[in-house]
Structure 1
């Protein structure tokens, strides 16, 4: 529970119905100080009983070791399922195969497969892609590696010490993909974004997580279009409490989303850090409440490697209490 979670919900933050799952995203620590602080953050997030905690992975393997370290910490020290990010950018087929096996061997059974952005030093027009050209191909590769890795399992037959039974069903692997409520930057139309989701579904994806957005109607309209088109897997809305003007600018730079003018103005005119933090939590809480009321199957929270704000959002919307009670 957040240290600030007991604050009353602002007007408009109607509590959500209980029982809605939530999840978190972390990124690997970028220096020794961040690495020392991250375990405590993971412990606090895990204590909220999320569905999973995802860990990002940099292009060209830039955070391979640190990503795996974080995933292993989650596996060894919590009861939460970790989700490993994988990207197509800068990876050969053999390298991707090897990395997937490494994650599976560590105990990871959930993945987020994304095409990925080109490296910062890529030449104009260079996608940075290796052998894998799309997230759908990466989804197929994950399934193939898992199938090859454990083609079947032998079980002891009770009462017959020398006999073995072959179990052919394989362990379930959760593979999420990215979704873009306001369109992918390279998409030519809204229908192309839905077609891409359908292709990922056909490849074997069984979950989607959206890029950041700021208005619940953007997600709700997109999710309905996807459902009408035949997308069957859950689409989780991705939300981040934006607690400073600098963070908002950074998020817009990374996502390409349009400036949410009302939120931007509120953050800019508020002179104190605590006031800005409250604005960001209140905004995210209102969005989450409306998403859940609109039928979202869960909430995925981008944490920025800090637990206080996301836990405050969950508590204000009633999700944290319901999770703790189950």
Structure 2
């Protein structure tokens, strides 16, 4: 029995270290290391230095249980299957621990000192991850890549489960918002005589869970206000599909989807697919986009000596 516990503890330790994390591995409960390492590194890397705020910030993992995380789903198909490198990236991205690489920021709102530290890669991993996810200059096409990934995933899920839907073209907008030449719903979903106008939004804030939740709520309410006149004229049911950069889905979006879930309550896989597959596709698109941004900086003369994460051979899962 002692030999088996030692072997399991060693494998768990190797698995944790594959993410660049370190944590003690007790022999009696080695699997608890994954949870403890996640909590310790997430709290220590993101909370303020003020000790008075740490008890509140340490509860963020508990507050995330109301959302549907990409870690809670099973690998059902190619859309939800992560390679070792993709999963490692998703975890480090969720912990805001991406390794900085030199990047030239041309955003006028970025302070000069931060520009210097970005170009020299002299920036903390947490600050670098947050800046890369929210800066329009450094992120380049990241915003559109993850948005298109979410829209495409929703369409594929609806088509697979028998929903009649179509994606509205960005070049030829026929159902734009009143008074606007562009913009409008991304997907029209037809079901039981009702037309749902779905607008996918990925909020760019990369702050702690409390602020992220507020940002998603604010984005949802903003979309509902923008579509107020549109809904009156078209009789469409507006359904903003709001997500965070980590793949968390806004509670308001879940509430808006309940009528569809209720009609198809016998199709238990639809609820799981329409939530999990867009999450996974968005995270995989983010991984590919950031790696492409890294390559673009290298081709443009920015020397890169440290990769975002170091690929390693597959490690045995505990």
Which TM-score tier does this pair reach, normalised by the shorter chain? under 0.3
TM-score with structure 2 setting the length: 0.23
TM-score with structure 1 setting the length: 0.22
Q: Which has the higher strand share?
A: 1
